[in-house]
């Protein structure tokens, strides 16, 4: 059951990342082309691209954590005996989970407080952009917990291929 839900979460997270990146790239490309070809541009393009970048950044935290792609300093656990290294990984995981949970909670409060403000050009509620923070960190919590056992026991993360729904034998 967990595996099926996990696959759906990974697929949805991946689809959202691809959609945000594609939309941001298309908007920026069209806007640059319009500037050079017509000496005019879309007034909303930079703002929307910026907000897509914010969503892209927060939604990407979890999948990158899941494959161990964030910067880490491993010298301390490399120098410890296996039980000490495992205990250190438990501590690190607990701190990161707590940090993600705290940022998701703070993000909900921030989004609620900024919901009445609107963005300058598109005039959408700024809370909609701010929701990227709690959404991203909630997904990061999911991804971290999905790899927690392998990380703590063997310092193992998933491979990028395992996150690809088209790869043979993924998840």
Mean of pLDDT over the chain: 92
Tokens for 150, please give them. Answer: 């392998």
What is the pTM for the complete model shown?
Answer: 0.88
If pLDDT is split at 50, 70 and 90, which confidence band does 165 have?
low
Gap between the Cα atoms of 75 and 88, Å rounded: 12
- The answer to whether 69 touches 109, Cβ cutoff 8 Å, is no
C-alpha count within 13 angstroms, C-beta hemisphere, residue 93 = 23
Read off the pLDDT of residues 32-69 as tens digits, 9 standing for 90 and up. Answer: 999 999 999 999 999 999 999 999 999 999 999 999 98
Gap between the Cα atoms of 30 and 48, Å rounded: 13
Gap between the Cα atoms of 50 and 111, Å rounded: 17
Gap between the Cα atoms of 136 and 49, Å rounded: 18
């Amino acid at each position: 059951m967990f595996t099926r839900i996990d696959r759906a979460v990974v697929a949805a997270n991946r689809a959202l990342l691809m959609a945000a990146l594609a939309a941001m790239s298309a908007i920026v490309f069209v806007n640059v082309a319009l500037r050079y070809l017509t000496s005019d541009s879309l007034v909303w393009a930079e703002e929307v691209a910026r907000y897509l970048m914010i969503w892209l950044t927060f939604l990407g935290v979890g999948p990158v954590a899941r494959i161990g792609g964030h910067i880490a300093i491993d010298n301390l656990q490399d120098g410890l005996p296996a039980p000490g290294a495992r205990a250190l990984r438990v501590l690190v995981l607990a701190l990161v989970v707590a940090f993600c949970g705290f940022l998701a909670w703070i993000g909900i409060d921030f989004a609620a407080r900024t919901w009445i403000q609107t963005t300058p050009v598109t005039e959408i509620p700024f809370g909609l952009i701010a929701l990227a923070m709690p959404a991203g960190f909630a997904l990061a919590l999911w991804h971290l917990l999905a790899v927690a056992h392998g990380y703590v026991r063997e310092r193992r993360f998933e491979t990028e291929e395992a996150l690809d729904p088209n790869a043979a034998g993924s998840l």
